[in-house]
Structure 1
Amino acid sequence: MVTTLLLLGLLLAVAVGWVVVRGIGATNDLRQVAAEGAALKTAITDAELTRAGNIATRIADHADSARALTSDPVWRGFEILPWLGANFTAVREVAEVADDVASDALKPVVDVAADIDLSSVGLIDGAIDLAPFADIEPPLRAATASLSNAAARADRIDADATIEPLAEAIHELREAVTEASTVVGALHGASALLPTMLGGDAPRTYVVAMQNNAELRSSGGIVGALALIRADQGAITLVRNASTLGFPVRESSLDLSAPVRALFDEQPGRFIQNTTSVPDFTEAAPLIAEMWQSSFGETVDGVLAVDTVVAAHLLEATGPVTAGALSLDSENVVDVLLSEVYLTIPDQATQDAVFANASAALFGAALTAPPRELIGALAESADENRIRIWSAHPEEQELLGASSLGGALPQDPPDAATVGVLINDITGGKMDYYADADFTLAVGECRGEPITRVTVTWSNGAPADAAALPPLVTGNGWYGVPAGETRTLIAVYGPSGSELAADSRDGSEEPVQSTTLDGRPVVQHTVQLAPGADSTITVDFRGSGAGHALTELRHTPLIETFEITPEKLVCE
């Protein structure tokens, strides 16, 4: 008996030693995967593809080693232990995901990148060589599928059952895989769509709607100017600029969904300036296309929407440009186009001419920008949700609609959620140049019920003497708002399938507009503020979809990029 117990004790000691040694080795391997992952991203961004290939090989080696160290029978046996077992399972699952990502996604993407000469692919004399895209689409499609599967598996790892350092590592893995899935998915979408969308089969025309963030709308800003571009065999040309003054107010509204009418009445369907109040670009873009056709008699193949901050990112890639009497660079372009033009030029027609000159100069600079820098500028703009694309061709729109560039409302997976804040100015001026915002997010349970709380603090940061600003800035009281004050619609939407639990502004309840957007409850407040004033809206959602630890808050792109502050949920 004693011998048996000694033997069992010895075997247990050996087993513990075995998993400890292998666990330390696996942990070190996974740390190397994380460190090398950051280096790989930098190498690809810098177009150092030989170094990227070497890094990808090292990542694959470390991931394979971590998987091997955590997949033997002894390790799997420890997974059944109470409390500790979940940690062993999580380490194994993390290693498996990392190994699959490295072998099935990273290597194909690096191989694709190595086959492309970034010094020659891109806009060269206004044209893109479309030939390479047919070769890179299949491996990118496979990598996208692998990363999508890996992201789903990473989300299923039970981080809540593990010790804190491991739980943090699991969250980091999820973020890394999700980011990689988004980036590679965008690359695959580009490789599949660009050849036809850039006129590889037949010439294409697109309307570009330029959004002005000084007068906010759901997707970024009021449509301040438009342009028509033509793409033919990869060559892109600017056909014409158009002012919103050339689009008459429609006597009757175009078709709008019931939720859009509930929030904004008929405004998006009658005024081209207000089409971007529609939060879903798959609904907003056809309105722009139809209004363009009504005014110019031209059917277009798609619509692109960009905001003014995109110009700043482009100028980081191109360097300064001259537009008439203006000298624009990445540091001053936002201030010039969203403030100085209105302060120094009194009438809208002259302002529109300035904006047309600026857009033509920016477009010309983009066509001659170094490809790598241009791609980086566009990627940064897309990451900030400042670029939206819609195609009138259903097969292309299906791909776009599934990507972040499509501008559709997000679809929540079973184990994550998205909430959002839509901001629309109804002052009738350009006062949002002075606006400020603060966003916080809290998730958890109150009295056993899952809760997601969104808090928005909106501020009018205009100077005390803002009433003396030009009428085109203040709105001049045209819509019943005293000069210098702002009136803003702030809508907050909850997770899919949830319901409104509580809603207040500055601690008190008030009448609000409410509707449902694609299965999401929405409440909209009307906030009027004097210069220097602010107001805080707090909305709680409960039930299905609420309370997820993996909850993302999206908001209307503003001039500044604001961090979302996580808060601990405090139950009332």
Structure 2
Amino acid sequence: MSDGRLPARRRWIGWTIGILLTLLVIAIGWVTVRGIGAVDDLRQVAKGATQLKQAIAEGDLDGAEPISDAIARNAASAHDLTSDPIWHAFGVLPWVGPNFQAVSEIAEIADDVSTEALRPLLQVGADLDLSSLGFTDGAINLAPFAQVEEPLAAAAASLTSADDRAKRIDADATLPPLADAIRQMRGSVTQAATVVGSLHGAAVLLPTMLGGDGPRTYVLAMQNNAELRSSGGIIGSIALLHAENGRVTLQSQASTRDFPALDVPLPVSESTTALFEDRPGRFLQNITSIPDFREAGETIAARWVGRFGGQVDGVIAVDALVAEHLMEVTGDLTFGPFTATSDTITSILLSEIYAAVPDPVAQDDIFALAAGGLFGAALSGGDPQALIGALADAAGEGRIRIWSAHEDEETLLAASALGGTIPPDSADTSHVGVLFNDGTGAKMDYYTRATIATAVGRCDGEPTTQITVTWTNTAPADAATSLPPYVTGDGFYGVPPGTVRTLIAVYGPEGATPSHVDRDGDDDGVQTAMLGDRSVVQHEVQLAPGESTTITVEFQGTGAGQRLTEVLHTPLITGPELTKDTLRCGS
């Protein structure tokens, strides 16, 4: 008879399963408690980053230091909570593993940033008193930049590395609460990398570019976004700046009337000619159609020298919305019959002026007054810290582009956002873009809006990047009669008043080729060209008030299908809505 006991082997198996289940329960509890703590730490890091930015912007370094210490403690805690063997073991499990990996990676990044970037940055803040930079009558003290270049370089390198790592984390593969925390942290890192990178570039470039080693002259081209060009807008007015020993002065101003069309166009690249014929080489106003600002800047400089002579050391192109950023610092501005605030300057410069001042010659004079007044206010009455912040925000939106005639400076500029170039693709990141160029011959782009969506995956077994652009004319239905002829073009170039004609160019990743192109679901005639190793597809669209059109382009082959696909675009008056979609193959 049995004594009721299980055989030894079965008892051993039972005990083993029981122990394993117990360990699993303990492990789940372990990672759950630690995960909750880590996510809370990361939220505190993101909150502290916002507070730190405000403290530094206000020059409160005494207040910034304890905030930095708290960020470091929370980041180190999050890293410790997510770096033990049990946590890493859960990271390799299917389904739930990406959540553990993502939190661990973002915690490690936060810890690295707090130790390798925050301390150097606070030291820079202690060494460089932004209020001592001056700006009185255009004078900037260049000496402090040399002493902060090295710590800024270290902080910029650390943040750039952290930004690259953060972008590789697939937040979409994690649970919603984790995804929100990851995106928030990633946004903070990206913003910090952009700002610190710009500051480091300034520390390297400003001493020479502002005349520390000898006088410099720069052409300042002001773009009007109501008539779009690739880098922002048509050149509406132009000026010459003189820089010497940190003192910047406005030397002379000119209008586009001083630059008649050339009988023999300046040489432009094959890609520019393929997209825009020889117009950028003939007309000053069209030079900013050139997608690469290295080419555009050199061409603008050649036009100035051809008209006025002398030597040009560089070109600075700004669009009209830079004024809005600067006036948040400098205050109200009176020019001609207008008094503008930061809230009204854009609508005055890009819309209201055409109804109030119908004469184009008088408009040019008022634009010149506005530019001169704003320039003077920024150099003489603006708070340096706030001005630097305003310019950094404008640069981050792509509204400031700089070309230098000095090769060493241009190399640094071209590698930065200020250079106006298309960044090279990397092994895991590709860049795509959309360029908008007006074909109406008027100022109707004040009423245009855009959305740009990207989707990646595979179509017909091939890696695919899909770009979808929706372009809308929001002008009033009676625009033909309610808007001034100078705004509508009055049909001068064959476009009915109130209608918008636009060249929309979509370029893909390096090495990829268009596999499917449609407009509103139908085939449509297009231009094709190359920008370096990038294929470009350009549509000409014409929209009456209230109409929209949607263009879809799929690129396949080398470089396509990258999860990390970044979108570049022409700076618009109202920035386009950027989204990521699920790929639905059109081919």
User: How does the TM-score come out when normalised to structure 1?
Assistant: 0.93
Matched, 1:238 2:250: yes
Say if 1:453 and 1:12 are closer, same or farther in 2 by CA, change over 3 A. closer
**Corresponding letter in the other structure for 1:70:** T
Of 342, 347, 368, the match for 1:335: 347
CA distance in 2, matches of 1:30, 1:359: 44
Say if 1:527 and 1:84 are closer, same or farther in 2 by CA, change over 3 A. closer
* Contact in 1 for aligned 2:57/2:386 (Cα 8 Å): no
- Equivalent residue number for residue 578 of structure 2: 564
Matched, 1:229 2:241: yes
**Structure 2 gap segments, 5+ residues each:** 1-7
Task: List aligned pairs for 1:508-527, cutoff 5 A.
Answer: 508-527=522-541
Matched, 1:486 2:496: no
- Equivalent residue number for residue 128 of structure 2: 116
**Corresponding letter in the other structure for 1:153:** R
CA distance in 1, matches of 2:308, 2:36: 68
CA distance in 2, matches of 1:224, 1:86: 51
What do residues 39-59 of structure 1 show as CA deviations (whole Å, max 9, x unaligned)?
222322333322222111111
Larger deviation: 337-346 or 270-279?
337-346
1:103 counterpart SS class: helix
- Equivalent residue number for residue 5 of structure 2: none
Of 569, 572, 575, the match for 1:555: 569
Deviation at 1:297, TM superposition (A): 0.5
* Contact in 1 for aligned 2:336/2:366 (Cα 8 Å): yes
Larger deviation: 99-108 or 48-57?
48-57
Task: List aligned pairs for 1:29-428, cutoff 5 A.
Answer: 29-79=41-91, 84=96, 86-157=98-169, 163=175, 165-367=177-379, 368-428=381-441
CA distance in 2, matches of 1:458, 1:24: 44
Say if 1:8 and 1:525 are closer, same or farther in 2 by CA, change over 3 A. closer
* Contact in 1 for aligned 2:488/2:499 (Cα 8 Å): yes
- Equivalent residue number for residue 506 of structure 1: 520
Of 525, 530, 544, the match for 2:558: 544
Deviation at 1:357, TM superposition (A): 1.4
1:191 counterpart SS class: helix
**Structure 1 gap segments, 5+ residues each:** none
Larger deviation: 427-436 or 446-455?
446-455
CA distance in 2, matches of 1:554, 1:156: 19
Say if 1:110 and 1:506 are closer, same or farther in 2 by CA, change over 3 A. same
1:424 counterpart SS class: strand
1:133 counterpart SS class: helix
- Paired residues in the alignment total 572
Deviation at 1:217, TM superposition (A): 0.5
CA RMSD of aligned residues (A): 2.5
CA distance in 2, matches of 1:418, 1:89: 26
CA distance in 2, matches of 1:305, 1:501: 35
What do residues 25-68 of structure 1 show as CA deviations (whole Å, max 9, x unaligned)?
43332232222222222322333322222111111112222323
* Contact in 2 for aligned 1:474/1:485 (Cα 8 Å): yes
**Corresponding letter in the other structure for 1:487:** R
Say if 1:492 and 1:122 are closer, same or farther in 2 by CA, change over 3 A. farther
Deviation at 1:141, TM superposition (A): 0.2
Larger deviation: 464-473 or 392-401?
464-473
- Equivalent residue number for residue 529 of structure 1: 543
2:201 counterpart SS class: helix
Matched, 1:429 2:442: yes
> Which of 1 and 2 has greater Rg?
2
2:487 counterpart SS class: helix
Larger deviation: 543-552 or 491-500?
543-552
* Contact in 2 for aligned 1:50/1:114 (Cα 8 Å): no
**Corresponding letter in the other structure for 2:463:** P
**Corresponding letter in the other structure for 2:323:** A
Say if 1:516 and 1:72 are closer, same or farther in 2 by CA, change over 3 A. same
**Corresponding letter in the other structure for 2:550:** T
Deviation at 1:78, TM superposition (A): 4.9
CA distance in 1, matches of 2:554, 2:92: 39
**Corresponding letter in the other structure for 2:413:** L
- Equivalent residue number for residue 475 of structure 2: 462
User: How does the TM-score come out when normalised to structure 2?
Assistant: 0.90
1:559 counterpart SS class: coil
Say if 1:352 and 1:158 are closer, same or farther in 2 by CA, change over 3 A. closer
